[in-house]
Amino acid sequence: MTGQGLLQLALYVVVLVALVKPLGAYMAAVFRGERTFLSPLLGPVERLIYRISGVDPAHESDWTRYAFDALLVNLLGFIAVYALQRLQHLLPLNPQGLGAVSPDSSFNTAVSFATNTNWQGYVGEATLSYLTQMLGLAVQNFLSAATGIAVLIALIRGFVRREAGQIGNFWVDFTRSTLHVLLPLSFILAVALASQGVVQSFAPYRQATLVEPLLMQDQAVVTEQTLPLGPAASQVAIKQLGTNGGGFFNVNSAHPFENPTPLSNFLEMLAILLIPAALCYTFGSMVNDKRQGWALLAAMLVIFVPLLVGAFAAEQAGNPRFDALGVDQAASAMQSGGNMEGKETRFGIANSTLWATATTAASNGSVNAMHDSFTPLGGMVPMWLMQLGEVVFGGVGSGLYGMLMFAIIAVFIAGLMVGRTPEYLGKKIEAYEVKMAAIVLLVPCLAVLLGTAVAVTVPAATASVANPGTHGFSEILYAFSSAGNNNGSAFAGLSANAPFYNFALGIAMWVSRYWLMIPVLAIAGSLAAKRATAITAGTLPTHTPLFVTLLVTTVLLVGALTFLPALALGPIVEHLQLHGSH
């Protein structure tokens, strides 16, 4: 590791934590319906939306109706994105004349963007028209993110309310998430990115003459290169802020038209974790105990920071096979050293591993380097972060409500140890809440392990693996870890744009989004109906370092016990092979 690299990592964490309180306080005010500095501008727009759509903002619903409304808007989004892909050759804003997308790829992409996964098995600039990118994918980036935030706010009300049958109005929470949070932040970030050179254009692709012609294998001489354009800055902004991650171009944020400068790189990385981190403060503010929010944020950082440093150390150490060849892998003034395979020289190892760790800690999935080219342990870090359930920051809303499910399990375990009925934030945690929380924790594990088990035995799946042996297994495991936890990143050596993976990964994404969302809302309804319990000397404080330790241990134990055998067959064995035969 280098001092400069560690300084970059530290700067990122410091800036992120510094922004938690101001943004978290703003979002708490928005969801409490209080006046903010944007209310004079956005308040009339919000009221107009309610009038046009026929929504009564004063009307609230129980958890079943809230879940129905959330599923309905996501179903409509899925249908719209699927139809846009299948019909894009007949629609405008298609200057390249791109044809219709295949049914299996359209299904996979529509599910992916509806579930906030944004897994992409296609080449964006060669597959999707400007209209499909904007009206389909960019819009879904807003709607899927707003759905996750809305479900979190409903869960928070479950903790706050006493003997109530309602948990809020989904359409109000959904509208406020989009209008007051995602849109303003996306506008600011899009303008900043455009100022750095991220393209934002409706012009057709341009042809550029190569400085040095290329001689192809068939002896053909290539003298021109096609430069893809499009309205990228606006989509990149919401893909990061909404923890969506889907790239406008094939290589995502490694593409200079999506991420051209060190400043754009830092802003995009910051945007990935900004809202998930700030929602911890929002949670503490809305439950009237800010210490609770800081405790959850501390638990996330306790897991995130060591894994970040570990990934950086693994990549900076380089490839031991090169030592035997006399290759200099030491960092110096002339080179970054370490394992630079698959990384942009303009970003280096520190910013590449920081992005990889942040994007898989959140359910973002965007990349500025190829995770498939990381060292075995360096690649295991993003893989395991996803396998922890995307609760270390996680997706906007979904990450925090996932961590709250772990908190429910943690207080249940503590209650068993001391012989008391477990309580969390003044509400008794009983069998119903524990069962629902267990479903939330176990469904992604089932999707990942079952999907991987099927894929390694089906010829249609193994045919897509370019690398045999342990790394090929890691590619399959990574793909289902990504889909089963709604992340979207990939070990790109797996050719996943095939019917088997398009349908199998699509099902994993769908199951892992909605089979989690519904139990969370069921817990919200159950908690809202309960009366508050008095705090006594036997009540476990849930804002102390002791509880943070218990929560972190619970998250790590579930992740380790579930996935260690699979990891031992992939990245761990690959690491031993790499270091044992040089």
pLDDT tens digits, 362-385: 999 999 999 999 999 999 999 999
Tell me the pLDDT band of 1, cut-offs 50, 70 and 90.
low
| CA proximity to 424, closest of 521, 551, 517 | 551
3-state SS, residue 546: helix
Average pLDDT over residues 6-23: 97
Burial of 34 (0-12, 13-18, 19+ CB in 10 A): exposed
Dist. CA 567–CA 577, nearest whole Å: 14
| Number of domains composing the chain | 1
- The residues, ordered by sequence, that sit 6+ positions from 469 with a Cβ below 8 Å of its Cβ are none
Dist. CA 257–CA 197, nearest whole Å: 7
Structural domain for 121, as ranges = 22-206+228-286
| CA proximity to 95, closest of 136, 125, 75, 65 | 125
Burial of 496 (0-12, 13-18, 19+ CB in 10 A): buried
Least confident span in 55-69, 204-218, 544-558? 204-218
Residue 416 has pLDDT above 90, yes or no: no
Dist. CA 492–CA 252, nearest whole Å: 12
Residue 530 has pLDDT above 70, yes or no: yes
Q: Please provide residue 212's backbone torsions phi and psi, each rounded to the nearest 5 degrees.
A: -130, 115
Mean pLDDT of the chain: 94
For CA atoms 115, 120, 121, 125, give the dihedral sign.
positive
Q: Cβ distance 437 to 519 under 8 Å?
A: yes
Q: Cβ distance 513 to 530 under 8 Å?
A: no
Dist. CA 550–CA 392, nearest whole Å: 15
**What global pTM score does this model have?**
0.95
Average pLDDT over residues 74-92: 96
Q: Cβ distance 126 to 497 under 8 Å?
A: no
Residue 122 lies in a domain: yes
What stretch of H or E contains 215? strand 206-215
Give bridge partners of residue 224 from the DSSP assignment: 209
Structure tokens at 444: 């992604």
Percent of the chain at pLDDT > 70 equals 99
Q: For residues 190, 193, 198 and 204, what is the CA-based torsion angle, rounded to 10 degrees?
A: 20
Average pLDDT over residues 273-284: 98
The larger pLDDT score, comparing residue 1 to residue 493, is at 493
Residue 160 lies in a domain: yes
Residue 346 has pLDDT above 60, yes or no: yes
Residue 127 lies in a domain: yes
Average pLDDT over residues 201-222: 90
Residue 259 lies in a domain: yes
Q: Cβ distance 134 to 231 under 8 Å?
A: yes
Q: What is the distance in angstroms between the CA of the first residue and the CA of the last residue of the chain? A: 22
Say how many C-beta atoms besides its own lie within 10 A of residue 309's C-beta. Answer: 18
How many residues belong to the chain?
Answer: 582
What stretch of H or E contains 45? helix 39-53
Give bridge partners of residue 315 from the DSSP assignment: none
Q: How high is the pLDDT of residue 539?
A: 82
Residue 521 has pLDDT above 90, yes or no: yes
- The residues, ordered by sequence, that sit 6+ positions from 289 with a Cβ below 8 Å of its Cβ are 425, 543
Residue 538 has pLDDT above 80, yes or no: no
Residue 452 lies in a domain: no
Site of tokens 């040089």: 582
What does the angle CA 335 – CA 336 – CA 342 come to, to the nearest 5 degrees? Answer: 110
Residue 576 lies in a domain: no
| CA proximity to 120, closest of 253, 265, 269, 252 | 252
What is the DSSP code string of 354-367? HHHHHHHHTT----
Dist. CA 351–CA 374, nearest whole Å: 13
Question: What one-character DSSP code corresponds to residue 214?
Answer: E
What is the DSSP code string of 286-336? HTT-HHHHHHHHHHHHHHHHHHHHHHHHHHHH--HHHHTTT-----BTTB-
Dist. CA 191–CA 197, nearest whole Å: 10
Least confident span in 212-216, 285-289, 390-394, 456-460? 212-216
Q: For residues 326, 332, 337 and 342, what is the CA-based torsion angle, rounded to 10 degrees?
A: -130
Q: How high is the pLDDT of residue 537?
A: 74
What stretch of H or E contains 424? strand 423-424
Residue 501 lies in a domain: no
Say how many C-beta atoms besides its own lie within 10 A of residue 189's C-beta. Answer: 24
Inter-CA distances, 322 with 117, 331, 371, 579, 581, Å: 36, 14, 19, 11, 12
pLDDT tens sequence across 422-439? 999 999 999 999 999 999
3-state SS, residue 455: helix
Residue 372 lies in a domain: no
- 541 Rama sector, left if φ>0, alpha if ψ -120 to 50, beta otherwise: beta
Structure tokens at 223: 């003298």
Give bridge partners of residue 214 from the DSSP assignment: 222
Q: Cβ distance 158 to 523 under 8 Å?
A: yes
Q: How high is the pLDDT of residue 582?
A: 47
| CA proximity to 398, closest of 117, 183, 179 | 117
For CA atoms 81, 150, 441, 372, give the dihedral sign.
positive
- The residues, ordered by sequence, that sit 6+ positions from 565 with a Cβ below 8 Å of its Cβ are none
Three state DSSP letters for 155-177: HHHHHHCCCCCCCECHHHHHHHH
